Chain A
Amino acid sequence: MKALSGVAVRAVAAAVPTDVARTQDYEYLNPEERLRFQKATGIASRHIVRDGQCASDLCIAAAEQTFEYLDWSRESVGALVLITQTGDQPVPATAIVIQQKLGLPQNCVAFDVNLGCSSYPYGLAIVGSMMQSLGINRALLLIGDVSSRVCAKHDKSSWPLFGDAGSATALELDEHATPIQLDLMSDGSGKDAIIIPGGGLASKRPPPLQGTVQMEASADGTLRRPDNLILRGADIFSFAISKVPPSIRRTMEASGRTPNEIDFLVLHQANKMINDTIAKKTGFTPEKTLTTLAEYGNTSSASIPLTISAHAHCFDIERRVLVCGFGVGLSWGAAALIIPAHTVLPVTETDNVY
């Protein structure tokens, strides 16, 4: 079991766009199917970016909130890591562009990490361990995705699931911080379960597509562009309910806590069927299992910090939480950590483009 000591959470903030897409308005399902979809997934609406707004914009909005709240000088931030699979451009890394837009100093470490639903425990591990080993006092972990930009609107297996969101978690070295227990896992044999097959170099071998991008029918009969996301829901479901509960159990064991001694379980917001099954199998009651599926849908990498932020009113006292992200990769992981009192800021809605 991996543990990270000496790193404390100072602020958690999240931002979503203002436009709302409702399941009951989704034209590619009939009214009966919409009800059935909503009941099974728990998703009633999602916030979707307008043309031009990127994951970086939502993350910057969240980061600005943390600066306003913490009164940190920008010069004091030594690292900025962005975890996204929907960056602004393939090259350069979006985090470096954000360093400039946030007015962070040039001695700030900045880079992107390509992970999705497992981002939160991985991000805490990456940023926290770098802070410890390099002696970086303060850092920002930005996590966000605009999945609506990579899903085909008529794709019933992906479009009505995903919402857009960005988040910022401010971390600081603190020798008194309770160690964070981490369980981090990978299984590349499941790479096809969630994939954007086109756009990378493997898809250009043999030589690149010429002319206009064509829609092609996938194995499930849905027409997609090569750079659209394909989600094989049944495979993800099977993976999530079999592999995720053991990860949560290992993390609880390492932290020496039972579900009774943990205030909240914060799962990646996949869908209601998956999340209810995982919570039940690991012994967490619905009251302890925070969710934002109904309002924000599956917000990919940002779902854990967004869900914490959406429950800011529950964090006016110190809370012991277990967070667990799982999905694309396949990649999954859990972290048991303390969220100190008054460090969670409510969700902000913005259409700002920076």
Chain B
Amino acid sequence: MTIEAFIEKFSFAIEVEPSTLGADTDFKALDIWDSLNTLSIIAMADADFNVALSGQDVESSRTVGDLWQIVKAKSKSP
């Protein structure tokens, strides 16, 4: 799985155009960001990457790329 694919899934989850997001997007600063989006992202990581993200994982990430690093790390661990 690539970061491009992750960005696309991320954008679908929070219902924005994929072209509006990049690895360095500060996602919590987006106008549309709210706590329900956190749930959408956790659901996406579970469904598309089989990774259990915690609320803290999303909270501690600033950019989409930061979160991708966590998803990548978690998908490698058993």
Measured CB to CB, the residues of A under 8 A from B are: 33, 36-37, 40, 157, 232-235, 237-238, 241-242, 273, 277
Q: Are B46 and A234 in contact (CB under 8 A)?
A: no
Q: Are A238 and B36 in contact (CB under 8 A)?
A: no
CA distance in complex: A237, B40 (Å): 10
Contacts A/B (CB < 8 Å), 21 sampled: A33-B34, A40-B36, A40-B39, A157-B35, A232-B55, A234-B35, A234-B42, A234-B54, A234-B55, A234-B59, A237-B43, A238-B52, A238-B53, A238-B54, A241-B42, A241-B46, A273-B39, A273-B40, A273-B43, A277-B43, A277-B46
Complex: chain A residue closest to B55, CB-CB: A234
Q: Which residues of A contact B34 (CB under 8 A)?
A: 33, 36
Main secondary structure of the interface of B (DSSP, over half): helix
CB distance from B69 to the nearest CB of A (A): 18
Q: Which residues of B contact A157 (CB under 8 A)?
A: 35
Q: Which residues of A contact B46 (CB under 8 A)?
A: 241-242, 277
Is B58 part of the binding interface, using a Cβ–Cβ cutoff of 8 Å?
A: yes
CA distance in complex: A235, B38 (Å): 10
Complex: chain A residue closest to B58, CB-CB: A234
Interface residues of B in 31-78 (CB under 8 A from A): 34-36, 38-40, 42-43, 46-47, 52-56, 58-59
CB distance from B47 to the nearest CB of A (A): 8
Q: Are B42 and A237 in contact (CB under 8 A)?
A: yes
Given A36-B36, A37-B36, are A241 and B55 also a contact pair (CB < 8 Å)?
Answer: no
